[in-house]
Structure 1
Amino acid sequence: MSINNLPTGDDKPGRRRSRGFIASAVFLGLVVILAVAVIATKGSDRNDTPAATGPGSSTGPAVTPASSPATTGNACGLSDTNQTPPTSTPKDVTWQLVKGDALPTSPSAGPGKVDGPVARCYAHTPLGALIAVSQIGGRIGVGSNADVIKILKAQAVPGPGVDHGLKVLAGSEIGDGKVDGQLAGFQFASYTPDTAVINLVGHMNNGSYNVATFTVKWLDGDWKIQLQDTGADSSNVSQVTSTAGYVPWSGVS
Structure 2
Amino acid sequence: MASDDSEQNPYTRPGFVAAAIVVALVVILAAVLGYKAVAEPDDPDPTTAPTSFAPTATAAPTDSPSVQGGESVCGLEPVELDGTLNAAPDTEWELVGTSAAPSVENHGPGEVEEDGFRYCYSQTPTGALLAAANTATIGSDPELAVKSVQLLADGAGKEVAAEQAEAALAGGSTGGTVQVAGFRFLNYTGTSAKVDLAFRLSTGELVSQPFDLVWEAGDWKLRTADDGQLLSGISQIPDLTGYVLWAGA
Q: TM-score range by the shorter chain?
A: 0.7 to 0.9
CA distance in 2, matches of 1:30, 1:67: 39
Q: In the superposition, relative to structure 1, how do residues 174 and 129 fare at CA in structure 2: closer, same or farther (>3 Å)?
A: farther
Q: Is the 8 A contact 1:19 1:140 kept in 2?
A: yes
More helix by share: 2
64, 75, 78: which one aligns with 1:69: 64
Match of 1:103 in 2: 101
Match of 1:164 in 2: 160
Match of 2:248 in 1: 251
Q: How many residues align?
A: 214
* Cα deviation, residue 230, structure 1: 2.7
Q: What percent of counterpart residues are identical?
A: 26
Q: Is the 8 A contact 2:33 2:233 kept in 1?
A: no
Q: Is the 8 A contact 1:75 1:123 kept in 2?
A: no
Q: Is the 8 A contact 1:63 1:190 kept in 2?
A: no
Q: In the superposition, relative to structure 1, how do residues 227 and 186 fare at CA in structure 2: closer, same or farther (>3 Å)?
A: same
* Cα deviation, residue 231, structure 1: 1.9
* Cα deviation, residue 79, structure 1: 4.4
* Match status 1:226 vs 2:229: no
Runs of 4+ in 1 over 6 A off after TM superposition: 61-67
Amino acid of the structure 2 residue aligned with 1:119: R
Match of 1:50 in 2: 50
Q: Is the 8 A contact 2:179 2:199 kept in 1?
A: yes
Q: Is the 8 A contact 2:206 2:237 kept in 1?
A: yes
Write out per-residue CA displacement over residues 169-201 of structure 1, whole angstroms, 9 at most, x where no aligned residue.
33323432532x211111111011111111110
Match of 1:119 in 2: 118
* Match status 1:235 vs 2:232: yes
Structure 2, unmatched stretches of 5+, are 1-16
Match of 1:86 in 2: 85
Q: Is the 8 A contact 1:62 1:189 kept in 2?
A: no
CA distance in 2, matches of 1:65, 1:87: 24
Q: CA RMSD for the aligned pairs?
A: 3.0
Match of 2:22 in 1: 19
Match of 1:178 in 2: 176
Q: In the superposition, relative to structure 1, how do residues 68 and 248 fare at CA in structure 2: closer, same or farther (>3 Å)?
A: farther
Structure exhibiting the larger radius of gyration computed from Cα positions: 2
